[in-house]
Amino acid sequence: MEKKGQNILQVRDLTVQVSTKAGFSTLVQNINFGIEKGKVLGLVGESGSGKTVTSMSILQLLERKKTEIQGSITLRGQELNGLKNKELRKIRGKDIAFIMQNPMNAFTPVFTVGHQFVETIRSHTSLNKKQAKELAINIMESVNLPDPDKILKNYPFQLSGGMLQRVMIAVAACLNPTVIIADEPTTALDLHNQLLVLRLLEKIRSEYGTSVLLISHDLGVISEMADEVIVMKQGRIVESANVFDLFDNPKHEYTKKLLRTRPSLHAKQQPITHLAKV
Ligand SMILES: Nc1ncnc2c1ncn2[C@@H]1O[C@H](COP(=O)(O)OP(=O)(O)OP(=O)(O)O)[C@@H](O)[C@H]1O
Ligand SMILES: [Mg+2]
């Protein structure tokens, strides 16, 4: 059992470089953060600030030959940086689920969504095919995916990005991971479905004590969901604070600017309240 206040996921001095024709280029540097059990860490920053690179490097999902990841990434004290692919495969999905910003990359085009969903569940649990399929359908219904049976028979290219992302969230929910990394999980969705996805994430967090790294450019989503927030700009963290402090008393000029320039969501959007009631 983890002691209170101890971080489940800890990133220390993370720097990611990529080799290009013009030499090495640094994508993110000196990234430090931790997430406690059952907490949501929000990661915000403008487009290109390094949010996806940071999250992908946690599971070393960036092209390995071209990128160099320095620093330490620990899950419950286990160092992940430098693990072999075989070892990382055991951690991906089961310990850390990653909901990708570009969901097409998460699926193989040659198998149906159902085949991939069921096999992913089966590779990490002792369920048989029928049980895995039932579980998949139940969870898909809870994220409002219409006609789950039909979706499972489809190939990835037959579904929209938003649908594939919800399928990924459903897969994550089935496996009850220690950490969920969700990269812009609501961006491709309309308001109603955004709410369903956020409620599901919140439900997983509160029921299983899952820690969540929630990446979003939507400050409305972050303010509703996150406990702590880090703000990135040009590959660095420029501010990190408790969500209330960040919104009430932003310290960094860039954070103030982000807050000022956010679209006035709450004027048009229903507040995301009573998240636990799914
Ligand atoms: N494989 C790569 N090779 C070279 N540059 C890359 C590579 N991947 C990302 N970058 C660059 O790294 C920077 C950070 O990109 P990243 O995708 O992390 O941004 P982001 O904060 O997720 O943006 P968005 O909000 O648009 O998703 C960008 O300038 C991007 O062009
Ligand atoms: Mg991104």
| Domains, the chain, ordered by start | 36-67+82-275 (3.40.50.300)
Choice from 27, 29, 55, 219 to test ligand 1 binding pocket (greatest atom count within 8 A of CB): 27
Edge-to-edge strands of the sheet including 23-36? 23-36, 7-20, 67-75, 78-79
**Token output for 138:** 């139940």
| Whole-number Å distance between alpha carbons of 154 and 208 | 30
Candidates 230, 232, 234; CA nearest to 27 is: 234
Ligand whose nearest atom lies closest to the CA of 28:
1
| Whole-number Å distance between alpha carbons of 226 and 244 | 10
One pLDDT digit (tens) per residue for the chain, 278 residues: 555 568 999 999 999 999 988 889 999 999 999 999 999 999 999 899 999 999 999 999 898 889 999 999 999 999 999 999 899 988 987 899 988 888 788 889 999 999 999 998 898 888 999 999 999 999 888 777 889 999 999 999 999 888 888 888 888 888 889 999 999 988 878 888 888 889 889 988 998 899 999 999 888 899 999 999 999 999 999 999 999 999 889 888 888 888 887 665 444 444 455 444 44
Q: Looking at ligand 1, which residue's alpha carbon is closest to its atom 25? A: 47
User: Is the whole model's pTM more than 0.75, yes or no?
Assistant: yes
Q: Are 163 and 196 in contact (CB under 8 A)?
A: no
Give, for 261, the enclosing helix (H) or strand (E): helix 253-261
